[in-house]
Amino acid sequence: MTQLALFDLDHTLLPCDSDYEWGQFLIRIGVVDQQFYAEQNDRFYQNYKDGNLNIDEFLRFALKPLSEHSRKQLKEWHDAFMKEVITGHLRQEAIDLVKRHQDAGDLCCVVTATNSFVTRPILAHFGIEHLIATEPATTGDDPCANFTGEVKGRPNFREGKIQGVNDWLRTQNLTLEKLSRSYFYSDSMNDLPLLEKVSNPIATNPDDRLRVEATKRHWPIIELFA
């Protein structure tokens, strides 16, 4: 029977938050108001870590810059972001973790609240095909259509990750119940709803709140990053 391996991305497979780092990158290249954007980026990041992020407010903030520039320009910036930021945060320990599941024949997927524009190019470095992420809305169905600054569907956050996984599994003619085993690796207490749904929850580089919860529930705890 099929086994499933789900991975959060930020602070799980990466030792950084790609959403936050993308915001910091936009500040450095001068395409957003530096003081305002830095203050808001820091505020939302702290709210996320504290477990009280207003996801709708954050996404209005995070997706707005995407709506103000062409896809061609955004791709040029993202290519630079990958080279300047993400490649330096790739860790062999995380790549090896994914490869162990791939070698076992497990179906692998990244499940992240960070939007797909930021995250999809990162998956190639892990050899992962499938991504469930928050989807930015576009002006049309063309792959090059510009972004609107809104969210398409439901944000892939907290309980939204459960819906996202279930919807994706249906496209694979699967359900969690049909799987012989399902893993979910995450660092964040925000992911507790999905961790509770899989057969094998694994706290990975966990934040303080998830570490306490995982210890209480006797879930495995692993540290990928020194």
> Is the whole-model pTM more than 0.85?
yes
Of 72, 148, 60, 77, which Cα lies nearest the Cα of 118? 77
| Count of the separate structural domains present in the chain | 2
Among 10, 106, 187, 191, the active-site one is: 10
How distant is the alpha carbon of residue 214 from its chain centre?
A: 20
Domain of 39, CATH number, reads: 1.20.1440.100
Based on the fold, state whether residues 73 and 103 are members of the same structural domain.
Answer: no
Q: In whole angstroms, what is the distance from residue 73 CA to residue 22 CA? A: 15
Based on the fold, state whether residues 58 and 121 are members of the same structural domain.
Answer: no
CA 86-186-81 angle, to 5 degrees, is: 10
Residues 6+ apart with CB under 8 A from 125: 86, 87, 90, 95
**Boundary-marking domain end, from 56, 88, 120:** 88
How distant is the alpha carbon of residue 164 from its chain centre?
A: 12
Written as six digits, the tokens of 177 are: 């119940």
Q: H/E element holding 135?
A: strand 130-138
Phi, psi of 33 (to 5 degrees): -65, 115
**Boundary-marking domain end, from 41, 61, 88:** 88
Phi, psi of 127 (to 5 degrees): 65, 25
Structure confidence at residue 94 (pLDDT): 98
Based on the fold, state whether residues 41 and 97 are members of the same structural domain.
Answer: no
Among 8, 17, 19, 191, the active-site one is: 8
- In the three-class reduction of DSSP (H, G, I as helix; E, B as strand; rest coil), residue 130 is classed as strand
Q: In whole angstroms, what is the distance from residue 125 CA to residue 127 CA? A: 6
CA distances from 149 to 1, 56, 137, 138 (A): 41, 12, 7, 8
| pLDDT < 70: residue spans in the chain | none
Structure confidence at residue 108 (pLDDT): 98
42 is catalytic: no
**Boundary-marking domain end, from 34, 68, 88:** 88
8 is catalytic: yes
Of 182, 196, 194, 189, which Cα lies nearest the Cα of 211? 189
Give the residue numbers spanning the domain of 31.
Answer: 18-88
